[in-house]
Amino acid sequence: MSKSTRRQVVAALIAAAASLAGCTKGDKGSGAAAPVSEASKGQDPVLATLGAAQKAEHALLLSFETYATATQRDDPSFSVLYRALARSCEVRLEALTEAIVAKGGAVPESPASASASTLAGDLQKAIADVGDLSSNLYPELRSNAVKAKDTAAVQVLAYGVQVLPEMESLLQAGAEGLASGAPPSVQTYYVCPTCGHVTTTLDFDECPYCYTMARDFEAIS
Ligand SMILES: [Zn+2]
């Protein structure tokens, strides 16, 4: 998917979340015919917001898993990076899914699984996808949750706002290394089991974002 197509998809997700949110305030006319149970599904703007984040994290997770498998044999340093990033997405996916279930919402369907192309192509696509979530989708979704004054949703969305830029930096460093003929060597990444913070050094006592103890981080190598 091209960067601009991806942008359109993200914009559509935001619009869908916003229109679901809008329904609730609404327009007595348009929703009047819907059965109560169906109408109530659209009544919580926070559920729509959490659902959009859940779907986006799930799509990223599937991409990273695909790329990790594709690079496993010939580019193990990238494979371990992708596995660490996949785990980071999975942590937030689980938290978002729990938040949706706790609110009595329906868990979104799984997105289609990704396909791999070349190492450089996959890296560029991953950078574009993560960049869109980081600069467009997540800030928008978090502000929806802030407007709705839902502190639990704000917190789980804040994890994405905080962690996605560091994921983008790791991918960017990998792409720059590849382009300059000095790809990263295989190393260990540490992933926070609460927010998905990804780091190469445990030089802190607690996660800077969610205060999980450093000793509880998961090592991926
Ligand atoms: Zn954390």
The DSSP string of 143-201 is: HHHHHTT-HHHHHHHHHHHHHHHHHHHHHHHHHHHHHTT-PPPP--EEE-TTT--EES-
Ligand 1 centroid–CA 159 distance in Å is 8
H or E segment and range at residue 199:
strand 198-199
Q: How far apart are CA 181 and CA 172, in angstroms?
A: 14
Contacts of 182 (CB under 8 A, 6+ apart): none
Q: How far apart are CA 38 and CA 132, in angstroms?
A: 31
φ/ψ of residue 83, rounded to 5? -65, -40
What's at 169, amino acid-wise?
S
Residue 23 has pLDDT above 80, yes or no: no
Residue 39 has pLDDT above 90, yes or no: no
Ligand 1 centroid–CA 207 distance in Å is 5
Ligand 1 centroid–CA 102 distance in Å is 21
Span 1-15, average pLDDT: 46
Ligand 1 centroid–CA 35 distance in Å is 41
Ligand 1 centroid–CA 49 distance in Å is 21
Ligand 1 centroid–CA 144 distance in Å is 22
State the chain's mean pLDDT as an integer. 86
What would the two tokens of residue 96 be?
Answer: 């978002």
Span 51-78, average pLDDT: 97
Residue 80 has a pLDDT of: 97
What phi-psi label fits residue 211: left (phi over 0), alpha (psi between -120 and 50 degrees) or beta? left
Q: How far apart are CA 138 and CA 49, in angstroms?
A: 9
Ligand 1 centroid–CA 21 distance in Å is 29
Q: How far apart are CA 138 and CA 25, in angstroms?
A: 23
Residue 73 has a pLDDT of: 96
Ligand 1 centroid–CA 43 distance in Å is 31
The answer to whether residues 60 and 167 touch, using CB atoms and an 8 Å cutoff, is: no
The answer to whether residues 96 and 50 touch, using CB atoms and an 8 Å cutoff, is: yes
Give the residue carrying structure tokens 């703007």.
45
Ligand 1 centroid–CA 91 distance in Å is 10
User: With bands split at pLDDT 50, 70 and 90, how would you rate the model's confidence at 43?
Assistant: low
Ligand 1 centroid–CA 30 distance in Å is 43
Signed CA dihedral, 164, 166, 171, 175: sign only: positive
Going along the chain from its start, the domains and CATH numbers come out as: 3-24+39-183 (1.20.1260.10)
Ligand 1 centroid–CA 214 distance in Å is 9
Ligand 1 centroid–CA 99 distance in Å is 17
Ligand 1 centroid–CA 150 distance in Å is 20
